[in-house]
Structures are given as structure tokens and as C-alpha cells.
């Protein structure tokens, strides 16, 4: 990790000159993008970032001599990125909505290492007794001058008799046995690995004194306190590929990572020999836990790996959104007190004078609305806008007209509407013309009524046969 620190340490110097060294596309993206990569909490580790590029690039590192398990291996750093355009970190997910980093822990020596081996032996198609095999293996290996077998001579290794077995393989047999390393230097399995490598290179010849009886075999007679029959010694030679694996016993306090042991810290529990993060809605507040406690009632946790009951709190789901994105993302379960940022797509915005952030528990979250467009603008209009400009939803602009200098305004009251800045000129005689028109109209109505009345009178006289007076 020292190389990483040196590399990213140089970035800190370059940050002072990033405006001059940054790619022009990144500069423009930063100037015109409304999104911001959320801040990250590195806990007890360190976080070194290069924010002069897109995506932003960060390396999280554990404290010295501490590690975490990832994909079945020990690691002490993690690389994450954030796209400036979407404000999303690569390691953020529904299971890790706040972008937490792994919990780092120390390594401890295991209680023991066990080498499991299996190899074909020729010289017999009958399996000797397991106890006899154990004796033959121990005698042969301790008589060897190879230093790789020294752990048997110094008694830090042993071949336990109950763990020696044999099976018939056609005209040969397969012998399987364990070698346990329980004392001496337990900081690594290198002693057993050397033992295994030498075992695969050498041809072992075992002299086994007894075997299970098979029909038709010839037996010899020995007298030792009475007559009994036993089979003559059998010579077995190793042949073929050695199959083996090293298994580590980390005890109750630690979890297994390959052939290493790591302390199970608060927020984890030991399951199937490994340190596992407590599931969502549960926690463990002490090291070496074997189980996690559930949150009470309707309370829950944001992510897995909670290490305190205080992590159990009222939960909230990030509200849906059209025309943009939220950070943390839509649908993620977070604390009700988490601040949610809303970023709108191009030509969209939150309501004018409204913040783009709100607590998740707020009754309403900012929405994205399509912006209004200034489609046209009269020549005499004077204001802080131009044709083609965009207005946020509910935004209001003010302008005047050069001919009468009347103060006017225009509001984006309908999302996505096309607005026109106009200066309609009113005639000074317009009201007189309207009044004259109205008078003429009234006069014409009156004349019409008189004509109708005369016609009705004539029709009545004609019907009675009298001359009109």
C-alpha cells in the first residue's frame, strides 16, 4: 500500500493546479453539471481521491496490519469511482445505500493447521489396518533426512491414527491421512506447505506389518504366547498425483480467510467458520459474536454490518422521481433523517426557489418539472432574458417595453410551456371608439323594436277588417 500512498500523495499537489491540467471536457462537465458526488466516510481507514478526472477515483485503505475479507481473500484496500454526471459511487447499492466501506480487522494466529492428503500406493490391492498405516507413515517420515519433514521430528506435527484411512483402487490402494501442526510458529502454514511439496516429490516406501485377511492368501505362523496367524509385512510405494489441501482452525474467536484467521469485529458474527456481517435489521455490539440481535419493533438498519443498537431507527424509502435521479437512489432504504439530493435531467428543474435536498422523512420530496421556453420576444421588450432562454417551473421574469415603459411580468406556470414576451401597443382613442360603437349598437336595437311594434299593430287591424285610424 506504500506505493498507492505515494501515487495518490502526488495527486494532492496536483489538486492546486487541477484547473490547468484537467481535461477540458471534465472542466465543462463540472461547470455545467448540477450533480455532486456524495461525501464518503472512511471510518478508521484513509481515503485518497483524484477528483480531477471523470469518473472521480478513490482508494480506501485499512490501517496498517489490518484487513477485510472480499471474495474469499484478504484485502487491505478498495477502489471506488463516481460518475460526475450521475453522482453515483460504484460501491453504492440497495444493500449499501450510504456507500460504507468494509470494516478492517487484525489477523491472529490459528489454533492449528491441518494438511489433508490423498495418494495412490502400489504393492498391494488390500488395505492394511489404519493403526498399522499410521505407524508405518510416522516411522518412514521421521526416518527421512529431508528438512521438510522436520516438524514430525520436533513434535510440532503429528499424524493422528484415527485420521488415517485406506480404500481399494483396482490393483492399488489410496491412502489418505492428516498431518496436524499444533505448536511452534503458527503465524503461517509454510511449514505444512513445505511438507506437502516434499511429499509430492518423493517416492515413499512404507513397510506395513499387517493387513486385513483376504481369501486365498498365504499366511505365516508366529509364536508369541500362543499360536496366532498374521500376514507378512507389505511394502507399499507412493505413485501418482498427490491431492491435498490445508485447513485452518481459527477457534471460536476468529473467522477463516483462506489459511489465515481474522478477528470477527462488532457488526459481524461467526457463521460456517467465517466472519459474516450482520444482516439488515440486526446488529452485534461486541467482538467474537456468534449471533446478531434483531432490531425491536418496526425499527431497522440501513445496511448490513451494524455494530450498535442505536443503528436501529425509523426507516424510510427514497421516493420515486420522474425526469431525474436521487442520491441515495430511488427505492433505497435509508434512515428517515437522511438528506436526499434530487438532480434533474437536461431542460428539467425543481420548482423555482425550492431546494433540491430534503430529509427522507419529509412529507414531500422535490420533483423535476420540464422547464418553460421563451419562444419569442418583441423587439421593444427590455429585460434580463432572451429568446430561447429557459425558465424553471414557477419562475417569474420582469420586463418593460420601450414605448410606454410599463412594468410587466411573465410566469412559467405550466411545465414545458412556450412563453412569448410581448409589448402590445394600445391606441389612445380605443376607449372612445368602443363607446361610440356601443351607442350605435343601442340605437339600432331601439329602432328595431319600434319597427316590430308597428308591424304587429298592422297585423291586428287587418284581422278585424277595420281601417286603421
Residue 23: the pLDDT is: 41
Nearest-5° angle of CA 88, CA 92, CA 95?
Answer: 145
**Which tens digits make up the pLDDT trace of 220-278?**
444 444 444 555 688 999 987 899 999 999 988 799 998 899 999 999 999 889 999 99
Give, as one character, the DSSP assignment of residue 154: T
- Spans in the chain with pLDDT lower than 50: 1-33, 211-228, 427-435, 468-469
From residue 175, give the alpha-carbon distance in Å to each of 151, 165, 355.
Answer: 21, 6, 74
Give Cα 90 distance to the centre of its chain: 7
pLDDT at residue 423, as a whole number: 86
Q: What is residue 104's predicted lDDT score, i.e. its pLDDT?
A: 93
Cα(339)–Cα(325) distance, rounded to whole angstroms? 14
pTM over 0.75: no
Return the closest-CA partner of residue 63 out of 50, 49, 47. 47
Strand boundaries in 38-122, DSSP class E: 46-50, 56-61, 66-70, 73-75, 77-83, 88-89, 105-108, 112-122
Can you give the pLDDT at residue 18? Answer: 34
Q: Which helix (H) or strand (E) holds 31?
A: helix 24-32
* Nearest-10 Cα torsion for 27, 33, 35, 38: 10
Question: Which one, of 423, 422, 412, 367, lies nearest residue 390 by Cα?
Answer: 412
Contact assessment for residue 327 and residue 319, using Cβ atoms and an 8 Å cutoff:
no
Amino acid at each position: 500500500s506504500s506505493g498507492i500512498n505515494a501515487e495518490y500523495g502526488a495527486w494532492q499537489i496536483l489538486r492546486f493546479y487541477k484547473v490547468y491540467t484537467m481535461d477540458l471536457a471534465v472542466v465543462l462537465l463540472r461547470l455545467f453539471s448540477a450533480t455532486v458526488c456524495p461525501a464518503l466516510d472512511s471510518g478508521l481507514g484513509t481515503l485518497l481521491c483524484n477528483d480531477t478526472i471523470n469518473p472521480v477515483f478513490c482508494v480506501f485503505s485499512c490501517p496498517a496490519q489490518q484487513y477485510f475479507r472480499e471474495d474469499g481473500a484478504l484485502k487491505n484496500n478498495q477502489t471506488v469511482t463516481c460518475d460526475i454526471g450521475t453522482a453515483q459511487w460504484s460501491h453504492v447499492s440497495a444493500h449499501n445505500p450510504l456507500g460504507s466501506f468494509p470494516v478492517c480487522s487484525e489477523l491472529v494466529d490459528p489454533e492449528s493447521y491441518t494438511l489433508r492428503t490423498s495418494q495412490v500406493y502400489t504393492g498391494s490391492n488390500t488395505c492394511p489396518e489404519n493403526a498399522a498405516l499410521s505407524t508405518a507413515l510416522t516411522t518412514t517420515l521421521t526416518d527421512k533426512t529431508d528438512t521438510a519433514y522436520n516438524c514430525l521430528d520436533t513434535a510440532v506435527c503429528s499424524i493422528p491414527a484415527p485420521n488415517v484411512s485406506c480404500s481399494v483402487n483396482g490393483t492399488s490402494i489410496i491412502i489418505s491421512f492428516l498431518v496436524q501442526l499444533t505448536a511452534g510458529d503458527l503465524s503461517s502454514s509454510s511449514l505444512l506447505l513445505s511438507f506437502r511439496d516434499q511429499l509430492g516429490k518423493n517416492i515413499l516406501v512404507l513397510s506395513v506389518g499387517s493387513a486385513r485377511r483376504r481369501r486365498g492368501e498365504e499366511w505365516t505362523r508366529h509364536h508369541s504366547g500362543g499360536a496366532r496367524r498374521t500376514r507378512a509385512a507389505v511394502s507399499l510405494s507412493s505413485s501418482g498425483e498427490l491431492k491435498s489441501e490445508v485447513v485452518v482452525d481459527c477457534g471460536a474467536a476468529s473467522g477463516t480467510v483462506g489459511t489465515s484467521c481474522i478477528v470477527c469485529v462488532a457488526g459481524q458474527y461467526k457463521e460456517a467458520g467465517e466472519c459474516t456481517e450482520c444482516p439488515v435489521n440486526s446488529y452485534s455490539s461486541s467482538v467474537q459474536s456468534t449471533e446478531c440481535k434483531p432490531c425491536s419493533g418496526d425499527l431497522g438498519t440501513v445496511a448490513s454490518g451494524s455494530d450498535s443498537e442505536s443503528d436501529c431507527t425509523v426507516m424510510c424509502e427514497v421516493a420515486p422521481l420522474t425526469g431525474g435521479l436521487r442520491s441515495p437512489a430511488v427505492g433505497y432504504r435509508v434512515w428517515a433523517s437522511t438528506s436526499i439530493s434530487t438532480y434533474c435531467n437536461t431542460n428539467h428543474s425543481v420548482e423555482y426557489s425550492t431546494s433540491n435536498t430534503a430529509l427522507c422523512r419529509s412529507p414531500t420530496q422535490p420533483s423535476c418539472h420540464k422547464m418553460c421556453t421563451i419562444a419569442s420576444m418583441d423587439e421593444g421588450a427590455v429585460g434580463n432574458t432572451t429568446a430561447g432562454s429557459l425558465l424553471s417551473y414557477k419562475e417569474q421574469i420582469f420586463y418593460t417595453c420601450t414605448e410606454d415603459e410599463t412594468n410587466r411580468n411573465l410566469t412559467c406556470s405550466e411545465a414545458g410551456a412556450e412563453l412569448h414576451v410581448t409589448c402590445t401597443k394600445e391606441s389612445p382613442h380605443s376607449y372612445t371608439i368602443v363607446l361610440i360603437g356601443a351607442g350605435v349598437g343601442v340605437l339600432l336595437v331601439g329602432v328595431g323594436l319600434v319597427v316590430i311594434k308597428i308591424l304587429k299593430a298592422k297585423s291586428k287591424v287587418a284581422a278585424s277588417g277595420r281601417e286603421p285610424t
